[in-house]
Amino acid sequence: MKKTIHLLLLIFIVSSASMAQNSKNVTIADLDAATFKQKVWNFDKDKAFNRIGNLPIILDFHATWCRPCKMLAPHLQVIQNKYNGKLIIYRIDVDQEPQLAKLFNVQAMPTIIFMGSKNKFKTELGYREYNDLELLVQNYFFSK
């Protein structure tokens, strides 16, 4: 009986460690104007919107003092983890990068920009529950 309990305990510990390794968060990068030009769109070179790369991009325009932004952040992290390698999420602090906020006409936070094509993007304003955010991701990027 003791051996069975020890064996079950060992299996539980090993499986918990394995699950913890597999559930590491994928980093969501913070962008400034320079890295934005390298990774998303060089607006000095291309005046018309023409994004870089092929993977869908989500831009999270936020502020450190914004409570809805703080509530949205864990949902975006789950989305980034779930779609790792299939989309990229970047964060932009509007107080640190007002030029980028102005470029996308961001006037309230959170503002989420969905970039699925090379020359078009969709803007969503305000906090979203995870299920709503997941639906937006599916509709903008993965529906056929």
Where do the domains of the chain lie?
Answer: 25-142
Higher pLDDT, 35 or 12: 35
Whether the predicted pLDDT of 18 surpasses 50: no
Separation CA 62–CA 31 (nearest Å): 12
Q: Is the pLDDT reported for residue 112 higher than 90?
A: yes
Catalytic residue status for 66: yes
Q: Which two tokens stand for residue 1?
A: 């009986």
Residue 114, pLDDT > 80, answer: yes
**What type of residue sits at position 130?**
Y
Average pLDDT over residues 3-21: 47
Q: Greater confidence, 110 or 22?
A: 110
What pLDDT, on the 0 to 100 scale, is given for residue 127?
97
Catalytic position from the list 58, 66, 113, 137: 66
Yes or no: domain 25-142 corresponds to CATH 3.40.30.10: yes
Q: Out of 16-30, 50-64, 84-98, 120-134, which region has the weakest mean confidence (pLDDT)?
A: 16-30
pLDDT tens digit sequence for 44-99: 999 999 999 999 999 999 999 999 999 999 999 999 999 999 999 999 999 999 99
Average pLDDT, the chain: 88
The pLDDT, as a whole number, for residue 143 is 87
Residues 6+ apart with CB under 8 A from 65: none
Q: Is the pLDDT of residue 124 over 60?
A: yes
Query: For residue 123, what are the CA distances in angstroms to 15, 21, 72, 114?
Result: 41, 34, 15, 6
Q: Are 36 and 96 in contact (CB under 8 A)?
A: no
> Of 31, 63, 69, 72, which is the active-site residue?
69
